[in-house]
A and B are shown apart, each in its own frame.
Chain A
Amino acid sequence: MKTNDVIFQTVAKVVFFMIIFFAVHLFFAGHYYPGGGFVGGLLTSGAIVLLLLAFDIKTVRHGFPLDFKWLIGLGLLFSVGTAAGSLLFNVPFFTHAYNYFQLPLFGKTSLHTAMLFDLGVYLVVIGVTMTIIQTIGESE
Chain B
Amino acid sequence: MINLPILPILIPLVSAVLLLFLSKRVYAQRVVSVAASFATVIAAAVVLMKVKTDGIQTVDMGSWPAPFGITLVSDMLSILLVLTSSVITLCVVIYSFRSIGSGREAFYYYPIVQFLLVGVNGSFTTGDIFNLFVFFEIMLMSSYVLIVIGGTKAQLQESIKYILINVISSAIFVIAVGFLYSVTGSLNMAHISARLTDIGGEPIVTVLALLFLIVFGLKGGIFPLYFWLPGSYAAPPAPVLALFGALLTKVGVYAILRTYTLFFYHDQPFTHDILSLLALLTMIAGSVGALAYKDVKQILIYNIVIAVGVLLFGIAIMTEESIAGTLFYFIHDMIIKAALFMLGGIMVWITGTSKMDKMGGLIRQYPALGWTFLTASFALAGIPPLSGFIGKLLIVRAGFESGEYVGAIVVLLSSLAVLYSVVTLFMEVFWKKPKLPQLHAKKQTSSLFLPAAALVVLSVLYGVGTEAVYPYVMQAVEALIHPEIYIDAVLKE
Contacts and interface: CB of A to CB of B under 8 A. Distances in A.
Nearest to B61: A94
Contacts of A91: 2, 63
Contacts of B14: 80, 84
B189 interface: no
Given A90-B2, A91-B63, A92-B61, A76 B21 contact: no
Interface residues of A, number: 17
Contacts of A80: 10, 13-14, 17
A76 B62 contact: no
B1 interface: yes
A73 B13 CA distance: 11
B17 A73 contact: yes
B127 to A, nearest CB: 13
B21 to A, nearest CB: 5
Contact of A72 (B10, B18, B20): B20
Contacts of A9: none
B396 to A, nearest CB: 42
Interface string A69-87: 1101100110010001011
B256 to A, nearest CB: 28
A90 B1 contact: yes
B59 interface: yes
B60 interface: yes
Contact of A87 (B3, B23, B62): B3
B3 A92 contact: yes
A31 B2 CA distance: 28
Nearest to A70: B21
Contacts of A93: 3, 6, 10, 59, 61-62, 72
Given A86-B3, A93-B6, A73 B62 contact: no
Nearest to A127: B20
A115 B308 CA distance: 44
Contacts of A69: 20, 23
Contact of B20 (A73, A92, A94): A73
Nearest to A96: B62
Contacts of B17: 73, 76-77, 80
Contacts of A77: 17
A127 to B, nearest CB: 10
User: Quick one: which of B2, B3, B10, B59 has the most chain A CB within 10 A?
Assistant: B3
A77 B60 CA distance: 22
Nearest to A76: B17
Contacts of B3: 86-87, 90, 92-93
A80 B15 CA distance: 11
Contacts of A84: 10, 14
B108 to A, nearest CB: 9
User: Quick one: which of A69, A73, A76, A91 has the most chain B CB within 10 A?
Assistant: A73
Contacts of B63: 91-92, 95
A72 B21 CA distance: 10
Interface string B39-73: 00000000000000000000111110000000010
Nearest to A84: B10
A63 B61 CA distance: 41
A95 B69 CA distance: 11
Given A73-B18, A93-B72, 6 more contacts: A73-B20, A77-B17, A91-B2, A92-B59, A92-B60, A93-B6
